[in-house]
Amino acid sequence: MRVTKLVFPEPFTVREELGVLEPALGERDVLVETQYSLISPGTELALYTGTHVDLPNPTNRFAKFPFYPGYAAVGEVVAAGAASGFRPGDRVFTAGHHASHEVIVDASDEQIVGLSDGLRSELALFGRIAEISMTSVLLSRVREGDYVAVLGMGLVGNLAAQLFARKGAIPIGIDVVPERLELAKRTGLAHVVQSGGDAAQLREEVRAITGGKDPDIVVEASGAPELVITALTLCRQLGQVILLGSTRGLVTLNVYDLIHRKGVSLTGAHAMHKGVEGLPTSGELYREVLAMIETGALCVEPFITHRLPRTEAKQGYELLLNNKDRACGVILDWRAG
């Protein structure tokens, strides 16, 4: 079987790598033919641009070139082992790469989830982003009526805000790009603030929404190092700051003023924490958020800004990098070519 997959041989370069797959499937293995895949505007873009924080780390085996991108795909089962729980023709979501075909080895719900007939394939792709965003909610101390300011209204931040709203909180979406704020309104967020001024001005605009209070929780979802300081400045005394976005660089801050004296809790919310110390596994969260997407409890359709054939993948990365006012959810179509 001929297989095509995307690879970053070096920063700012995307190529198609051709190969032959001769799967000798084990009893729990599944071969999937990809229909659509979603470009990650966070981790993938950081690898594409060569800015991922772990690239210089010799002990990190993930962030290295050549890098094979992708972690959200929808496709159809072509062949399946007898004990896999799947059959040819099943439509599935996978945490797979940008590739025409992929073998899911020892299939588990951490890697592959069957999709119901009522869930559109393109919408199911956003289940992976929602699973990542859910980390911030799981590790929060959120209570009903809390104000939660979310810095960054890209996919991860927007979905985090929606998920906090489902917990009874009042999210406030913050971004420098006005089009991202308009998108946030289309997905149901009632309160948005355009940033770009100094921290004092942003604080006053947030307080105008909260009735003079500082937010109970601030989620940093952009990965911009300077916004860690903004998040700590915005947060109320004895509040919580959650670092959901992977910070793309080092941060120098006044720990005494921003954390120690204020009593602020600083929480890292990396996706790797799933299944640890009683937290749900990724598979459990995939099923939960995919059900929410199917019922409309999570609004994801407005995210889709571009549908590109997989042959135009580089254009997709460049759009996300250079056109943040226009590009958000970029889907690659693998059904032709």
> Is 90 among the domain residues?
yes
> Is 289 among the domain residues?
no
Domain identity same for 69 and 103: yes
- Asked if 336 and 329 count as a contact pair (C-beta separation under 8 A), the reply is no
Contacts for 126 with CB less than 8 Å, ≥ 6 apart:
38, 72, 155, 159, 293, 298, 300, 303, 329
**What's the DSSP call for residue 334?**
-
Place of tokens 């289940």: 127
Domain identity same for 99 and 190: no
Domain identity same for 147 and 246: yes
> Is 284 among the domain residues?
no
> Is 186 among the domain residues?
yes
> Is 280 among the domain residues?
no
Query: Residue 111 sits in which domain range?
Result: 2-126+300-333
Inform me whether the pLDDT recorded for 234 exceeds 70.
yes
User: Which CATH number covers residue 185?
Assistant: 3.40.50.720
> Is 312 among the domain residues?
yes
User: Which CATH number covers residue 311?
Assistant: 3.90.180.10
- pLDDT at res. 261: 96
Contacts for 253 with CB less than 8 Å, ≥ 6 apart:
228, 229, 232, 259
- Would you put residue 49 in left (φ > 0), alpha (ψ -120 to 50) or beta? alpha
Task: Please give the share of the chain, as a percent, with pLDDT higher than 70.
Answer: 99
Q: Averaged over 56-79, what is the pLDDT?
A: 94
> Is 159 among the domain residues?
yes
What's the domain count of the chain? 2
> Is 283 among the domain residues?
no
Inform me whether the pLDDT recorded for 230 exceeds 70.
yes
Q: Averaged over 196-213, what is the pLDDT?
A: 93
Domain identity same for 252 and 237: yes
Q: Averaged over 84-108, what is the pLDDT?
A: 95
| Backbone dihedral angles phi then psi of residue 228, each to the nearest 5 degrees | -65, -40
Q: What average pLDDT does the structure give for the chain? A: 95
Q: Which tens digits make up the pLDDT trace of 243-291? A: 999 888 889 999 999 999 999 999 999 988 888 888 999 999 999 999 9
- pLDDT at res. 196: 83
Inform me whether the pLDDT recorded for 337 exceeds 70.
no
Domain identity same for 182 and 243: yes
Inform me whether the pLDDT recorded for 199 exceeds 90.
no
Residue 17 — very low, low, confident or very high, per pLDDT cuts 50/70/90?
Answer: very high
